[in-house]
Chains A and B, each alone.
Chain A
Amino acid sequence: MSGRRQDGRLSDRAIALAISLVLRVGVALAAALVAVGGIAYLVQNGRRETHYSHFASAQSLTTPAAIVRGALALDPAAIIALGLVVLVLTPVARVVLALLAFAEQRDRLYVAFSLIVLTVLFIGLTGHAL
C-alpha cells in the first residue's frame, strides 16, 4: 500500500494511520507521566490521611506554565497534571493533523469542519473568545 491516491494525494487510510500513531504516542506519554507522578505522589503522601469531603482544588496548578515549572521541579502533583495536559492536548494534535491532511487532499468542506472544531477547542482551552 503506497498511502497515495490515484491523484497523488494522501489516501484516507494513510491519514487514519498517522492519526492513530499520534493518539497512541500521546496517550502512552500521558499515561507514563501520570504513572510516574502517581507513584512519587503516593511515596510522599501515601501515609497522610485525606479528606475528600472538602474538595481541595489544585489552585497552584491552573496554568500550563505553572504545571511545567512544577514538573521540572519534580513536584509529583505537577507531574500528574502535566500528564493530564498531554492527555488533553492529544486530541487537539489529532484535529490539527486532520486539518493538515484534509488541506493536502484539497478537501475544502472538511478543512472548514476542522477549523470550526479547532476554534471551539481553542476557546475552551484558553478561555479567550478569539
Chain B
Amino acid sequence: MDGSLARRLRLGGTYPGPSGEVAYLPRRVPLGFGIMAGAGLISGLLGIGSGAVKVLALDQAMRLPFKVSTTTSNFMIGVTAAAGAGVYLRRGFISPSLAMPVMLGVLGGSLIGARLLIGARVRLLRVVFALAILALGVEMIVAGLHL
C-alpha cells in the first residue's frame, strides 16, 4: 500500500554507490508532497532556501538515500525558484548589483560542492547538513526578531 503510489508514479531509481548501482524506492509520497507544499510556501514568503526543507522531506519523510535527497533537491530548486523569481523581477525586487556577487559566489561554491559530494561520506554530510540548518535557523530567528 505504502510503496504502491511510488511504484505507480515510477519514482524508484538507482544511484551509483561505492560498489555499483544502489536501488531505492521513496516511501510516504503524500506526506512528502505535503511537506514540499509547505516548503514552497515558506520560501516564497521568507526567501529562505526551501532546499533545506526539501532535503528534510526527501530524507526523513520519504526515506531516500541522503545523496539522492541532496542531488534531487538541488535539481528541483532551479525550477521552483524560477517560479518565484519571475514575481520578484517584475516588481523590481531584484537589485542587480546585489545579485551579482551572490550569484557568482553561490555558483562557484556549488560547483565545488557537487564535486565533493560524489566522494563524501554520508555521516559527514549529515553533520554538515545539521550545522547548516542550525545556522539557518539561528540567523532567521535573529533577523525575524530584529536582534
Contacts and interface: CB of A to CB of B under 8 A. Distances in A.
B101 interface: yes
B119 interface: no
B145 interface: no
Q: Could you say which of A35, A52, A124, A125 has the most chain B C-beta atoms within 10 Å of its C-beta?
A: A124
Contacts of A124: 82-87
Interface residues of A, number: 46
A73 interface: no
Interface in B74-90: 78-79, 81-87, 89-90
- Please classify how large the interface on chain B is, using the bins under 10, 10 to 19, 20 to 34, 35 or more: 20 to 34
Nearest to A87: B103
Contacts of A55: 95
A130 interface: no
Interface string B72-116: 000000110111111101111111111111011001000000000
Query: 10 shortest A-B CB distances, which residue pairs?
Result: A91-B78, A124-B83, A125-B86, A80-B96, A57-B92, A38-B100, A77-B96, A91-B79, A59-B92, A88-B85
23 contacts: A34-B100, A34-B103, A38-B100, A38-B104, A55-B95, A57-B92, A60-B92, A61-B92, A62-B89, A80-B96, A80-B100, A81-B94, A85-B89, A88-B86, A91-B78, A91-B79, A94-B78, A121-B79, A121-B86, A123-B83, A125-B83, A125-B85, A126-B86
